[in-house]
Amino acid sequence: MPILRLALLSLWNRRFTALLTLLSIALSVALLLGVERVRTEARASFASTISGTDLIVGARSGPIQLLLYAVFRIGNPTNNISWQSYQEIAAQPQVAWTVPLSLGDSHRGFRVLGTSLDYFEHYRYARGRALTFARGQPFADLYDAVLGAEVARALGYRLDDAIVIAHGAGDVTFARHADQPFRVAGILARTGTPVDRAVHVSLAAIEAIHIGWEGGAPMPGRTVTPDQARRMDLTPTQITAALVGLKSRIATFAMQRWINAYREEALLAVLPGVALSELWSLVAVAEQALLIVSGFVVLVGLIGMLTALLIGLDERRRELAILRSVGARPWQVLALIIGEALLLTLLGLLTGVVLLYGLLAAGTVLVEGRFGLYLELRVLSAQEWRLLTAVLAAGLLVGFIPAWRAYRMSLADGLSLRV
């Protein structure tokens, strides 16, 4: 305790330099923990891009490909599902609900998703959170559209604005369904998922805008007006994929096997969690690289502490020599310098943690609203405690270098004048 008290008084005597060193360590620790917290929450958010759905059903391909186009709206399916097969799956006694998905069109670079009102009721993300509307309501009319938050922000749309959907991924004049414009009926709250970048319309609307189209272009004299389309039977003949919720999780694997062995057409049913884990493993290198970069930032902060201690040690040669002359033993000098390093590291860790929680408290709402990433204000995890322990051990190791140098100093060297 006397050694630590002496170390604290010594740091107070050099408080300006000590404060700068402490801030350097605190900022690097806050960055390290912040990156770890963002990495953990981003992974959890990614795994919860779709939540509460037991199976994703599509044409037989690969699990990741099905996940990409059905959930992330990336790429295109190898084939579609017939409406009859979809209805047979929905009619199974184990099935509680289904949500049909139809892709293929776009609007100014954003994918258009045809679906049913069940989508807004059953789609879940981020550990079971439901979709909510920032403005407006679900589509009620045939030509109503519901925009994701990013679509509305990027294109500046408001309620009741008119939008024109284009056939396919390209937005060229001859591929636009300009004769059947849509009205913005609702804008969803930000979710941080692919929902934000989608334009949602009804399955009937998808059928209506493609009446009279063949080979990606309208056939002269075969198109219909919006009023004519409203009076027609617009039951789809096929869809892209479907989300399936079961009455009991126990039936998941049995239902998956039944769909995969479906005889009428080649189908594939995947578990969203398993497919998401496979997809995340492809980007795990970037995840680890982020943590390594923040680790190097901490290392830079500790090197700054080492530099400050070494420079201060050279200026404190006479002070240490006086301590030796009044009876301090070499190991006590060693303990003094290590004690200073320990105090700087501990105070830096404490300040870094306080800074992290301050930033989380101030910025959680902003980050969730802007990026859809929820940063939970919770106690430190086991991994974060391990990181703090590693930083503390590294700080002690760094402090041992100037401490050993002070230990080696002789009394005569400290009291002699340097020419």
- pLDDT tens, per residue, the chain with 419 residues: 565 666 666 667 667 777 887 888 888 888 888 888 877 777 777 777 888 899 999 999 889 899 989 998 888 888 899 999 999 999 999 999 999 999 988 898 899 999 999 999 999 987 788 999 999 999 999 999 999 999 999 999 999 999 999 876 655 544 677 788 999 999 999 888 889 999 999 999 999 888 866 555 556 656 777 888 888 888 999 999 999 999 998 999 999 999 999 988 999 999 998 888 887 777 667 767 777 877 787 777 778 777 776 666 666 666 666 665 566 666 666 677 777 778 888 888 899 899 988 888 887 667 665 655 666 677 888 888 988 888 888 888 887 777 677 666 644 454 454 44
pLDDT score for 246 = 94
Residue 81 is inside which H or E element, if any? Answer: strand 81-82
Same-domain status, 204 and 296: no
Q: Do 411 and 393 share a domain, yes or no? A: yes
Please indicate, yes or no, whether residues 218 and 320 belong to a single structural domain of this protein. no
Q: Are residues 140 and 263 in the same domain?
A: yes
What residues have CB less than 8 Å from 16, skipping those under 6 apart? none
Among candidate residues 210, 236, 270, the one where a domain is terminated:
270
Q: Is 278 inside a domain boundary?
A: no
- 265 and 235 in one domain? yes
Judge if 172 and 80 occupy the same domain: yes
Give the count of beta carbons closer than 10 Å to the beta carbon of residue 244: 26
Question: What is the chain's Cα-based Rg?
Answer: 32
> What is the spatial distance between Cα 366 and Cα 310, in angstroms, rounded to a whole number?
42
**In terms of domains, do 372 and 264 share one?**
no
Q: Are residues 263 and 290 in the same domain?
A: no
- Within a domain: 276: no
Q: What's the pLDDT at 418? A: 47
What domain range is 187 assigned to? 55-270
Chosen domain end from 270, 302, 328: 270
Same domain, 226 and 353: no
Number of independent structural domains in the chain: 2
Is there a domain that residue 277 lies in? no
**How far separated are the first and last CA of the chain, in Å rounded?**
37
Q: Give the pairing type, strands 198-202 and 110-115.
A: parallel
- The whole-model pTM stands at 0.69
Q: How many CB atoms lie within 10 A of CB 280?
A: 14
The most distant pair of C-alpha atoms in the chain lies apart, rounded to whole Å, by: 107
Tell me the one-letter amino acid at 297: V
Question: Which residues, in sequence order, are CB contacts of 304 under 8 Å at separation 6+?
Answer: 21, 24, 25
Residue 332 lies inside a defined structural domain of this protein:
yes
Our separate counts of H helices and E strands in the chain read 15, 17
The residue among 106, 201, 101 whose CA lies nearest residue 144 is 201
Report the 10 Å Cβ neighbour count for 98.
21
DSSP state of 241: E
CA distance 163 to 145: 9
Collapse the DSSP code of 240 into the 3-class scheme (helix H, G, I; strand E, B; otherwise coil) and give the result.
Answer: coil
- Judgement on whether residues 60 and 124 belong to the same structural domain of the protein: yes
Q: What pLDDT score does 80 carry?
A: 92
- Mark whether 333 and 258 lie in a shared domain: no
Question: What is the Cα–Cα distance from 299 to 287, expressed in whole angstroms?
Answer: 19
Nearest to 288 by CA among 361, 162, 383: 383
- Do 40 and 116 sit in the same domain of this protein? no
d(CA 37, CA 357): 11
- Residue 86 domain flag: yes
Asked which of 270, 298, 318 is the last residue of a domain, the reply is 270
Which amino acid belongs to residue 138?
P
